[in-house]
Amino acid sequence: MHINSSNALEKLKNADSEFLNLFQHGSLKVEVYRPDGVDRQTPHEFDEVYVIISGNGEFLNGTDKVLFSAGDFLFVPAGVDHRFINFTEDFSTWVFFYGPKGGESSK
């Protein structure tokens, strides 16, 4: 399987949505996400990884806030409130969901 960011974003644009599921295998689900001005996410049932494709801004992950830019890796445990804020117009990211509902054990 091969997916590049340009093709993923083009498919997303044609889907008329802020996110698009591009691949699934077992518990792994891969999406591309590009919010339009405001990130309206709610906590997810699965552990989640973001790899930023383009843009920059701030990321709230529970009570932590970090700056992000293209190429960065962000992890969110299942059930944790999170969102992108103050992001640039060109912001887009890969989203990887995996593992069991409720997240994996950190042990």
Q: For the domain covering 5-98, report its CATH number.
A: 2.60.120.10
Torsion of Cα atoms, 103 then 105 then 106 then 107, to 10°: -170
Rounded CA separation 21/13 (Å)? 13
Helices (H), the chain: 5-15
> What are the sequence ranges of the domains in the chain?
5-98
Q: What is the pLDDT of residue 95?
A: 98
Q: Please, which residues have CB within 8 angstroms of residue 40's CB and are 6 or more apart in sequence?
A: 83
Amino acid at 2: H
pLDDT tens per residue, the chain (107 residues)? 899 999 999 999 989 889 999 999 999 999 999 999 999 999 999 999 999 999 999 999 999 999 999 999 999 999 999 999 999 999 999 999 999 999 998 76
Which candidate, 82, 90, 25, places its Cα nearest to that of 50? 82
Q: What is the pLDDT of residue 91?
A: 98
Q: What is the pLDDT of residue 16?
A: 82
